Amino acid sequence: MSPQPPSTVTIRDVALAAGVHVSTVSRALSPDKRGLISEEVLRVVEEAAQRLGYRPNRAASALRTGRTHTIGVLVPDITNPVFPPILQGVEASAAARGYFVFVTNVMDPALARPVVERMLAQQVDGLVMAIAMRDDPLIDYLQKAGMHTVLVNRADESGRLPAVVSDDRLAMKLAVDHLVAAGHRRIAHLAGPQNVPTGVARRQGVEQALRDRGLALAAVAECESYSREAGRQAMAQLLAQNERPEAVVCCNDLVALGAYDLLRAQGLRVPQDISITGHNDMPLVDMVDPPLTTIRLPHRELGWRAAEMLFDEIEGKSLSASTVVLRPELVVRASTRRVP
Amino acid sequence: MSPQPPSTVTIRDVALAAGVHVSTVSRALSPDKRGLISEEVLRVVEEAAQRLGYRPNRAASALRTGRTHTIGVLVPDITNPVFPPILQGVEASAAARGYFVFVTNVMDPALARPVVERMLAQQVDGLVMAIAMRDDPLIDYLQKAGMHTVLVNRADESGRLPAVVSDDRLAMKLAVDHLVAAGHRRIAHLAGPQNVPTGVARRQGVEQALRDRGLALAAVAECESYSREAGRQAMAQLLAQNERPEAVVCCNDLVALGAYDLLRAQGLRVPQDISITGHNDMPLVDMVDPPLTTIRLPHRELGWRAAEMLFDEIEGKSLSASTVVLRPELVVRASTRRVP
DNA sequence: GTGAAAGCGCTAACAG
DNA sequence: CTGTTAGCGCTTTCAC
């Protein structure tokens, strides 16, 4: 018994069919107000709504209440495998709580502002942002606009907005400790873009972990983006510098794979000639040659938690923790060797 | 000079500031109606709107016009690397035309109906569906509901709805011809789920291509989903059947990788003991061991075209071609060998 | 070329 | 517990 698909049946039609006033229908169909309605009427209304295939018009209720039950998500690049699981987490939470999610790709940070403007016009109830830059003016803008926002993956260093992130410093410490324990000493870093919070946090994490072991960073090269091509280029730079490192901690998997590309082109073998670590444990890095030692993140949970925080805030349910830091873990595979 | 972020400035505020009536403001700010307004007034209104940071409330205009400038996209699983580029294409088109895109993961086909119901309630202007099943009743439902819909990736075999797809039969022909040209004769197929249009089309494509060469399908096993694990299981089944095939055409890359997994576990080498082909050319299959011979699809264009068709239909701009078929191409790598 | 007025469908006071 | 009333912000006749 599925309801009629077609037509536009409004609350008035239901009211007429049920022989009650529209406001009664509205109440009867509202989860928190249905307590005010008699059993009797409740039944009649629900039956009528069901029979007519009534679906409350969200645009109308949005206009009246100012709440659209929609949120926006801004990601830098959906094709980067880090984001789909985050999105999935966000969407799972949203679906469970009756929200829809606008997904937008913001490949160029300069385009973020217009996207946000459109989101505001669209009356979204909140935003999940995965594109924060360091000292991003967009964050001030969002706060002034009173838009509920939760950052994900990248936190704002000055803590202006709540965020759900992975512990980048710990991640790098895990990688460094693994390499040091395997006997490596000359350890270099392929750093992420230093205008992005994760880029600096990971670099600092590498440096700190090394210091803790009484070592210094052997060399470093900055990638201009978190991409395979950028990794290739940065690796070339690294190799052009003085002595070749024994191991390279990369800011992420794509960059590590770019390093693979360059090393192969130069006839160098991983891990015999050089050990490599990544970050993210994206799909298939267990199948590349050699399988990549990397850091696994709870991506889906990142998205889920960020969304939950956002909905709680939207619904005034709680003043949630300002920043949630999730724990990454090391996954040892075959791109790192133990020195004899 | 950026407009004020805060507050809720309405069309009335602009009208007041500009000293004109709200309807005049509405007209002045509407791209097609601004011709009706004098130069003079146009300037004044635009200046006022700019100064006050006016952003038309989409919920209000949606209620009035019935158009929300939003569409929904239904994908089976965002973490499947096929979909992000499709989504990106959809979103690029949407952004260019002033629409937002609701993205939903519909992992279980049984959940499609409720999602669609919510989309209808949300008043989306149209749908891009990547989750059509064979003889899907959802398609009838959408038509009866009068929802503008374009299918992508998977077409409806009875052509009830417009679709943008890749030529699955050609794709399989490319793979088969490549294997036959390389000297293979005993060719098997790891088929996709037969309740999904692509699953049957690809299987038929393999069979037809083989027939064209005067060969018969050596063996076939059906995967219960397009996943690595399903590929592993199906490959096990295939091997359990009589004589081992020389080559296996897989319904997609993930399945091919699952086949890799099983083969490796059994001590069989690709391509020395068996050649493997995939479909999709998803990221990183050029880096797995061995690099996968596969079929490349114009995924982004698939999404873009589907969205463009949808918007044209929504805006009554054209009665676009009912089905657009894009051309896949063969990418030869190292998972297929030439028999001596 | 511009103003006046009505109303999209719904919810939230306010009465009763 | 239920009905009445008003109005969210915008677009669109219909007048002038």
A285 CB neighbours in chain B (<8 A) are 284
Strand spans (E) along chain A = 70-75, 100-105, 126-129, 149-152, 163-166, 187-191, 219-222, 247-250, 275-277, 294-296, 323-326, 329-331
**pLDDT over 90 (residue B192):** yes
- What pTM, to 2 d.p., does this model score? 0.94
**pLDDT over 50 (residue B4):** no
A145 CA – C2 C1', rounded, Å: 34
CA A79 – CA B87 distance, rounded (Å) = 9
A104 CB neighbours in chain B (<8 A) are 91, 95, 100-101
**Closest residue on chain B to A288 (Cα):** B288
**Closest residue on chain A to B261 (Cα):** A287
**Closest residue on chain B to A228 (Cα):** B284
Q: Nearest nt (C1') to A8 (CA)? A: C9
Helix crossing, B197-212 with B168-181: angle to 10°?
40
User: Length of chain B in residues, anyone?
Assistant: 340
Of B60, B118, B287, Cβ closest to residue A63:
B60
In which band, very low, low, confident or very high, does the pLDDT at B6 lie, cut at 50, 70 and 90?
Answer: very low
What is the number of H-type helices and E-type strands within chain B? 12, 12
Q: Where are the alpha helices (DSSP H) in A66-136?
A: 83-96, 112-121
pLDDT at res. A320: 65
A151 CA – C11 C1', rounded, Å: 32
B201 CA – C9 C1', rounded, Å: 45
pLDDT at res. A4: 43
CB B225 within 8 A of CB B251: no
Question: Is B141 within 8 Å of A62 when comparing Cβ atoms?
Answer: no
Average pLDDT, rounded, for chain B: 94
Question: Is A289 within 8 Å of B287 when comparing Cβ atoms?
Answer: yes
- The pLDDT tens digits of the residues spanning B115-153 come to 999 999 999 999 999 999 999 999 999 999 999 999 999
Of B57, B104, B289, Cβ closest to residue A123:
B57
CB A162 within 8 A of CB A305: no
A94 CA – C8 C1', rounded, Å: 28
Residue with tokens 């149209």: B126
A55 CA – C12 C1', rounded, Å: 20
In which band, very low, low, confident or very high, does the pLDDT at B322 lie, cut at 50, 70 and 90?
Answer: confident
The distance between the two most distant Cα atoms of chain A, rounded to a whole number of Å, is 86
Q: How many Cα atoms are found within 13 Å in the side-chain-facing hemisphere of B245?
A: 30
Q: Mean pLDDT throughout B240-246? A: 92
C1: residue with closest CA to C1': B37
Region label for A129, one of left (φ > 0), alpha (ψ between -120 and 50) or beta (otherwise): beta
Percent of chain B with pLDDT over 70: 97
Of A78, A121, A257, Cβ closest to residue B84:
A78
Q: pLDDT tens track of chain A, all 340 residues?
A: 344 444 689 999 999 999 999 999 999 999 888 888 999 999 999 999 999 999 999 999 999 999 999 999 999 999 999 999 999 999 999 999 999 999 999 999 999 999 999 999 999 999 999 999 999 999 999 999 999 999 999 999 889 999 999 999 999 999 999 999 999 999 999 999 999 999 999 999 999 999 999 999 999 999 999 999 999 999 999 999 979 999 999 999 999 999 999 999 999 999 999 999 999 999 999 999 999 999 999 999 999 999 999 999 999 887 767 899 999 999 999 999 999 8
CB B284 within 8 A of CB B83: no
What angle (nearest 5°) sits at the alpha carbon of residue A14, between those of residues A13 and A15?
90
CB B20 within 8 A of CB B41: yes
Alpha-carbon Rg for chain B, nearest whole angstrom, is 26
Cβ burial A237-261 (10 Å sphere, 16+ → b, else e): ebbeeeeebbbbbbbbbbbbbbbbb
D9: residue with closest CA to C1': B60
Q: CA-CA distances (angstroms) from residue A268 to A35, A152, A260, A261, A285?
A: 72, 37, 9, 10, 19
Question: Which of B50, B73, B77, B122 to mutate to test binding with chain A, by most A CBs within 10 Å of its CB?
Answer: B122
B23-B29-B33-B39 Cα dihedral, nearest 10 degrees:
100
Q: Which long-range contacts (CB under 8 A, 24 or more apart) does B264-268 make?
A: B266/B239
Q: Nearest nt (C1') to A21 (CA)? A: D3
User: Length of chain A in residues, anyone?
Assistant: 340
Q: Mean pLDDT throughout B182-211? A: 97
Shortest Cα distance, chain A CAs vs residue B214, angstroms: 36
DSSP string, B110-144: GGHHHHHHHHHHTT-SEEEES-PPTT-HHHHHHHH
Element (H, E) at B275: strand B275-277
Q: Mean pLDDT throughout B199-228? A: 97
pLDDT at res. B125: 97
Shortest Cα distance, chain B CAs vs residue A237, angstroms: 22
pLDDT at res. A6: 46
Helix crossing, A39-52 with A11-18: angle to 10°?
130
**Closest residue on chain B to A300 (Cα):** B79
pLDDT at res. A84: 97
CA A158 – CA A170 distance, rounded (Å) = 20
Of A60, A145, A257, Cβ closest to residue B287:
A257
